[in-house]
Amino acid sequence: MDRMLAAGKYTPTMMAVNNLRVQLPCSDDQFLFVHNVQTPFLNSDWLKPKYAEQHPSINDDGVLSRYIRLAEIFGRLSKWSYAGGRRTEKHPPWDEATEFFRLRHELQKFHDALPSNLTLTEANLSAHIEKRNATTYASLHTLYSLCLIMLHREYIPFIPLRCNKPSGPLDEPTFPGEKFDIPFGFWEESADQIMKASRDIIDIVSTCQDNNFLPESPQLGFAVWQAAFVCLYATYFPQMDEQHHFIPRDTLSPSPDINVNSNKGLAGRTKKILSDMVPRLRMKELKEFGPRDPDQTSVSDGSDTVNEAPSRASTNDIPGNSINGEPMQVVEAARQRLNGVCTAVEADELPKYGHGPYPYGPPYQQFPNQLSNAPSLISASNGD
C-alpha cells in the first residue's frame, strides 16, 4: 500500500525496507495446513549468514511474498520514472552504472526466480482460477508487466513518423549510432518488452474476466489503461511491433479506417474492460474527473467560482474570516447557497451550529484570545 500510494510526484514512501525486520508470508496451503516453514525477509541483509547456512531450505513459494517483493521494486521504479527517468541518467541505458540497468536486472532476476507454478503460462493461469486464488497471481503478473512498460517506454520513440524500426528516443538525450557503441538489437529488444508486456496484461485480464474472476483493483485498472495505450501506439505505428504481438504479420502500415471506438480487436477489448470496470470505481465520483452527467452544466454568477457541489478536497466550504478576525458562522455549505448570498444566523438556529470544525457554542467561545461572549454578527463591533 505504501509503494502504491507513493507512485507519483511529491509523494515519498513512508517505510524504508532496510529498517523492516519482518518475514514474508508463507503460501496459502502452508498456512491452511499449519506447516512450520521458514520464510525469508524482505531485506535479505537481516538473515544472518550462519543461519542461512544452517537452514538452506528457506521456503519462498508463496505468491503473496513474491508480490510484496515486486511491489518494492515497483516503488523504486516509480520514484525513478517520476524523477525524470532517462533524463536523470548520465550514461546510455546499457551501461551498468545507470538506474535503468539495475532496475532491468532486478526485474529479470525476479522473473527467473519464480517457481514453475508461478510463471506466466495459460495452464498456470487456468489452474489458479480453478483453485480460486487467481487474484494475487493475476495481480503479480500484471504488476510485473506494468513495471516493464514503465521502464522501457523511456527509450521508445514517442511519435516515430520517420522511423522504420525501434531506434531509441528522438528527443534529448539521444544515442545516435555514430557516437555510441549500441549493443546489437538493444532498441528492438526494449520495444519488444513493451509490446509483449502489454499483450500479457490484455490476455490475463481477458481470461480472468471471461471466467468471472477479474480482480478489479486500481492497480489492475491502471495496467489495462497502459496496455490500451500501447495497443493504440502499435496500431498507428506497426513498425514498432516487430514481433507482431498486436499487429498481424501482413500489416506494414496503419489501416486508414482505424476506429478506436470500435469494440473489435485488442484495442476494443481493452476499451470494453475499462468500460465494465468504471461503474464500480469509486474515483468516478470525484469532481476532479469532471461531471458524471454529460448534460450537467454550471451557470456562473460572475464570480471566480461556479455554483456546484464541491468535492472533499474543495475549499469552498471553509469558513472565511470576519473583520474582527473571527471565523464567520453565517456561511452555509456551498450546495445551500443561492448566487453566493449569505444570511445571518437567527437565535433559534444557533443549536444547529454546535458541531463541526468551528462549533458555535461554549467550546468555541473559550478559545484562547477570544472574548467570553462571542460577538454577534449583527453587533456594531463587527462593523467598527
- Helix, strand, or coil here: 362? helix
pLDDT tier at 33, thresholds 50, 70, 90: low
Domain shared by 217 and 354, yes or no: no
Round to whole Å and give the CA distance between 84 and 86: 6
Residues 274 and 196 in one domain: yes
* Mean pLDDT of all residues in 281-307: 49
- How far is the C-alpha of 370 from the C-alpha of 358, rounded, in Å? 13
Beta bridge partners of 300: 306
Q: What is the mean pLDDT of residues 136-148?
A: 95
- Whether residue 363 is contained in a domain is answered as yes
**Treating both helix axes as pointing N-terminal to C-terminal, what angle do 63-82 and 134-152 enclose, rounded to 10 degrees?**
20
Compute the average pLDDT of residues 365-381. 43
Contact 322, 383 (CB under 8 A): no
pLDDT-based confidence at 21, cuts 50/70/90? confident
Q: Looking at the 3D structure of the chain, how many domains does it have?
A: 2
Question: 372 lies in a domain?
Answer: yes
Q: What is the crossing angle of helices 218-236 and 265-277, to 10°?
A: 160
The per-residue pLDDT for range 304-349, each reduced to its tens digit, is 444 444 333 333 334 444 444 444 343 333 344 444 444 444 555 5
353 and 236 fall within a common domain: no
- Inter-residue contact 143 to 71 (CB < 8 Å): yes
Residue that is last in its domain, among 261, 287, 313:
287
> Domain range holding 354?
323-384
Cell of 363: 467550546
Average pLDDT for the chain:
73
Residue labelled with grid coordinates 517506454: 153
| Dihedral, CA of residue 315, residue 321, residue 322 and residue 324, to nearest 10 | 180
pLDDT tens digits for 206-248?
999 889 888 878 888 889 999 999 999 998 999 999 998 988 7
Task: Kindly report the pTM of this predicted structure.
Answer: 0.68
In a domain, 301, yes or no: no
> Is 15 in contact with 54 (CB distance < 8 Å)?
no
183 and 265, same structural domain? Answer: yes
**How many residues belong to the chain?**
384
Residue scoring higher pLDDT (267 or 211): 211
Answer whether 230's CB lies under 8 Å from 156's CB. no
Last residue of a domain, one of 260, 287, 314: 287
- pLDDT, tens only, 92-130: 999 999 999 999 999 999 999 999 999 999 999 999 999
Verify that 341 and 282 share a domain, yes or no.
no
Residue 29 lies in a domain: no
